[in-house]
Amino acid sequence: MSRIYSCGILGLGSSLPEKVLTNFDLEKMVDTTNEWIMKRTGISERRILEKDVPAHELGVDAANKALKDAGISAEDLDLIIVATETPDYLTPSTSCLIQSRINAKKAAAFDLNAACSGFIYGLTVADQFIKSGYYKYVLLIGCEGLSKITDWEDRNTCVLFGDAAGAAVLGRVEDGYGIMSTYIGADGDLGKNITAPCCYLSCEDIEVRTRDNKRVLWMDGGEVFKFAVKVMEHGTNKVLEQSNLTLEDLKLIVPHQANIRILDGAAKRLGVSKDKIFINLHKYGNISSASIPVGLNEAYEGKMFTKGDNLVLVGFGGGLTWGSALVRWSK
């Protein structure tokens, strides 16, 4: 599709639950130690929703902040896309729940599930709508309540995840700025390495993918680890190539935050210094599709980049999926 308009990020916002769950709290819940978690993951604490609070509350809050930052009203929105692997309901979608709460009367709304790569998948979809001229304003939210599907008796996974939402308002920007390139991919053959059953459970799945009859998230961490380091490097290089840029042209890489050792490994393979990689996973753990927008928002609020700077956003996750984007900051 030819590019009629340039699409960029007009505003950002994020939302985190107040409740903090530290590694020391987890020591009392499963057979683990703060030392193991810090050394093997880099995570120190994570934010967790109260049991009776749905994840879309975080999405509403993040959306309102992003709209304010963009200086537009919810009524201006043409479309809401929510990237999530933890929708509060199968129907209505989280995007419809948020559309109603923020009063975005004119906006179409749908959810998209590409697990931790969801924000990049959503960015790629939103870019098509805006660059073609079909829509003027799209709200994209990564919204997750992972604590609700976490197996709190499985030390392999329960130390990793947290809850959060991050939102971006996308719209037309000056030519030469905004989303310069995106790249998304999937390898369903590797899908069994991260699962969270929903409407169907095969007999063989019942043993490992449920706990007390509750469907939970299960992961083969080692397999995902190897995949993650490879696609971080591949995804970053791919969007650089597609944009005719090199690593020297990059101001910052904002990656999906899953494990400090994955980020270190990717930095090494790429040959970039670690100060070019944004890191906040010690505070929030793995927040899936919210990871990249929450990180981007923190880097933006911390003035870590300015207009004209080139950023790479890169993620990987369940599916297995991956995605990357080259964004030239336009504000």
311 - beta bridge partners? 252, 327
Is there a catalytic annotation at residue 259? no
- Asked if 259 touches ligand UT7 (CB under 6 A), the answer is yes
Side chain identity, residue 259: N
Q: Which stretch binds ligand UT7 (CB under 6 A): 96-104, 131-139, 155-163, 240-248?
A: 155-163
Structure tokens at 299: 């880097």
CA distance 293 to 106: 24
- Asked if 282 touches ligand UT7 (CB under 6 A), the answer is no
Q: Shortest distance, CB of residue 121 to ligand UT7, whole angstroms?
A: 14
- Asked if 94 touches ligand UT7 (CB under 6 A), the answer is no
Which is the catalytic residue, given 23, 56, 96, 116? 116
Q: Shortest distance, CB of residue 259 to ligand UT7, whole angstroms?
A: 3
Task: Mark out the alpha helices in the chain (DSSP H runs).
Answer: 23-27, 34-41, 56-70, 94-102, 118-131, 155-158, 203-209, 221-242, 260-270, 281-284, 291-301
Helices 221-242 and 260-270: crossing angle in degrees, nearest 10, is 40
CA distance 62 to 233: 29
Which is the catalytic residue, given 23, 286, 297, 310? 286
Cα dihedral 320/316/83/238 (nearest 10): -110
Q: Shortest distance, CB of residue 183 to ligand UT7, whole angstroms?
A: 18
CA distance 257 to 237: 18
Indicate which single residue of 101, 134, 225, 264 sits in contact with ligand UT7 (rule: CB under 6 A): 225
- Asked if 258 touches ligand UT7 (CB under 6 A), the answer is yes
Indicate which single residue of 96, 143, 165, 228 sits in contact with ligand UT7 (rule: CB under 6 A): 228
Indicate which single residue of 5, 34, 38, 40 sits in contact with ligand UT7 (rule: CB under 6 A): 40
What binding mask, one character per residue, do residues 113-152 give for ligand UT7 by CB under 6 A, x or -?
---x------------------------------------
For 91-151, the DSSP string reads: SS-HHHHHHHHHT-TT-EEEEE--GGGHHHHHHHHHHHHHHTTS-S-EEEEEEEEGGGT--
Indicate which single residue of 5, 36, 110, 134 sits in contact with ligand UT7 (rule: CB under 6 A): 36
Indicate which single residue of 156, 210, 242, 280 sits in contact with ligand UT7 (rule: CB under 6 A): 156
Q: Which one, 8 or 87, has the nearer CB to ligand UT7?
A: 87
288-317 residues near ligand UT7, rule: CB under 6 A: 317
Is there a catalytic annotation at residue 56? no
User: Measured at CB, which residue is nearest to ligand UT7?
Assistant: 221
Is there a catalytic annotation at residue 143? no
Side chain identity, residue 128: Q
Instruction: For Cα atoms 237, 241, 246, give the angle at the middle one, nearest 5 degrees.
Output: 75
Number of residues that bind ligand UT7 (CB under 6 A): 19
- Asked if 80 touches ligand UT7 (CB under 6 A), the answer is no
Structure tokens at 142: 């990564």
Which is the catalytic residue, given 256, 259, 297, 310? 256
CA distance 111 to 89: 11
Whether the Cβ atoms of residue 126 and residue 143 lie closer than 8 Å to each other: no
Q: Which residues are catalytic?
A: 116, 256, 286
Q: Which residues bind ligand UT7 (CB under 6 A)?
A: 32, 36-37, 40-41, 116, 155-156, 159, 221-222, 224-225, 228, 258-259, 262, 286, 317
